[in-house]
Structure 1
Amino acid sequence: MMALSVSNIVLWVVVLALLLVVLALSRQIGVLYERVAPMGALTLDKGPAVGDPAPKFDLKDLLGRPHQVGYAGPRSQLLFFVSPNCPVCKKLLPILKSVAQSERAWLDIALASDGEMPEHLAFYRKAQLEAFPYLLSTELGMKFQISKLPYAVLMDEHGVVRGKGLINSREQLESLFTAKEIGVGSAQEWLEKASVETISRKENGNALA
């Protein structure tokens, strides 16, 4: 009888210890999640800055249709830089088509690249991208100083750059739209501001205490 009572006590002690471990781990996971927040598109410090007017271009796409970049108009414009030889670009094309539908009320999307037309035209048709203007222009990439792909630049109705960055997922692409809505240049900038505000509030609270 005594042995059974002791074993029950030991069992409860073990259960309570495990519960405390689980609670401690849950707290650490929460702290880690706050520190490693979902990141938006990675902005490279090159080309026109967020808040600057975009360079203006009058171009024709692969199908000979006229297209303007950087001009003021009734809708925002997303310029998405791709390459036929970029695996990540190809992975994002279905996402780009989906975003074009979900954001069609306010956004126009154009693809951009440089190189030889036959290769791009074959890529354009195979991927069924005829709904998007496809701009083949070396100068366009140079003006925006595109060095890595896939890269996107979001311009508002006034032709002003509102967001830009490397894109590897739908979340990163949509982070440009969020940055435009809340008036920051990128998700990283928002996180930095939020971090500074949090530290400031803590310092003010400690000072008052």
Structure 2
Amino acid sequence: MNETLIASNLLLWLAVLALLLAVFALSRQIGILYERVAPMGALMMDSGPRVGEAAPLFELPRLGGGLLQLGGASDRSTLLFFLSPTCPVCKKLLPILKSAQKAEGERLAVVLASDGNAPEHEAFRQRAGLAAFPYVLSAELGMRYQVSKLPYAVLVGEDGHVRAKGLVNSREQLESLFAARDLGVASVQDYLARPAFAKEGA
């Protein structure tokens, strides 16, 4: 009887040790997997004003009337969102832009930017319910930021300096601009590439 109890206890302890080893191996694999599928931020092109540099100064006419000043110090950040009425991804992100402005409250101004035919953009602005957003048309603005693909976004801080920028195709990529600003890095990719983060994910 005693031998049976001792044998069963040994088997239980061996099972517990095996489970501990399995949990350790799984936690290590989860860390590696997390590193591989880490959130992808906005795709930052190495062109135009760099993160940390002063944003170009512009005074542009707005659709619907009035002038809009871009660049320079302000009481809130500015999200400059480059779009086109014929860009399906741009249209998909419009509700996300609206919720982002609500979430950021008084700290953020969203400005829509494009170029081309004013009547076409005005019709698009009305159709998409974008009257609350300043909307400017300027080929020079896109050239200064060297926007080659859409949708593209630039986050300018209250101090008038570029805080984050990149090609944004999803909610996650758009929100990564705010994450990069809050972390004080050029992009989420830069943050994930830091040695400290790499050690945590290993």
Residue in 2 aligned with 1:71?
72
Task: Tell me the alpha carbon deviations over residues 130-158 of structure 1, each in whole angstroms, 9 at most, x when there is no partner.
Answer: 00011100000000100011010000111
CA distance in 1, matches of 2:199, 2:102: 41
C-alpha change, 1:63 and 1:199, in structure 2 (3 Å) is closer
SS state at 2:136 partner: strand
CA distance in 2, matches of 1:75, 1:121: 26
The two structures have a TM-score, normalised by structure 2, of 0.83
C-alpha change, 1:124 and 1:184, in structure 2 (3 Å) is same
CA distance in 1, matches of 2:93, 2:197: 35
Code of the residue aligned with 1:113 in structure 2: it is S
Code of the residue aligned with 1:149 in structure 2: it is L
CA distance in 2, matches of 1:181, 1:100: 16
Could you tell me how far 1:172 is from its partner in structure 2? Answer: 1.3
1 or 2 for the larger relative contact order (CA 8 Å, sep ≥6)?
2
Task: Tell me the alpha carbon deviations over residues 157-209 of structure 1, each in whole angstroms, 9 at most, x when there is no partner.
Answer: 1110000011112221111111111211110111112xx235689xxxxxxxx
Residue in 2 aligned with 1:197?
196
Residue in 2 aligned with 1:99?
100
Name segments (4+ residues, structure 1) moved above 4 Å: 22-27, 198-201
Could you tell me how far 1:32 is from its partner in structure 2? Answer: 1.7
Equivalent residues, number? 185
Residue in 1 aligned with 2:90?
89
CA distance in 2, matches of 1:198, 1:117: 47
CA distance in 2, matches of 1:110, 1:199: 36
Could you tell me how far 1:65 is from its partner in structure 2? Answer: 2.1
Q: Is the 8 A contact 2:35 2:198 kept in 1?
A: no
SS state at 1:105 partner: helix
CA distance in 2, matches of 1:61, 1:89: 19
CA distance in 2, matches of 1:110, 1:164: 14
Code of the residue aligned with 1:143 in structure 2: it is R
Residue in 1 aligned with 2:57?
56
Residue in 2 aligned with 1:133?
134
CA distance in 2, matches of 1:115, 1:41: 25
CA distance in 2, matches of 1:199, 1:180: 20
CA distance in 2, matches of 1:94, 1:199: 34
CA distance in 1, matches of 2:110, 2:83: 12
SS state at 1:104 partner: helix
SS state at 2:106 partner: coil
SS state at 1:67 partner: strand
Residue in 1 aligned with 2:114?
113
CA distance in 2, matches of 1:28, 1:190: 21
Code of the residue aligned with 1:169 in structure 2: it is S
* Structure 2 residues without counterparts, runs of 5 or longer: 1-18
- Identity, % of aligned positions: 62
Code of the residue aligned with 1:197 in structure 2: it is A
CA distance in 1, matches of 2:99, 2:176: 15
The two structures have a TM-score, normalised by structure 1, of 0.80
C-alpha change, 1:139 and 1:174, in structure 2 (3 Å) is same
Could you tell me how far 1:29 is from its partner in structure 2? Answer: 4.7
Could you tell me how far 1:64 is from its partner in structure 2? Answer: 1.3
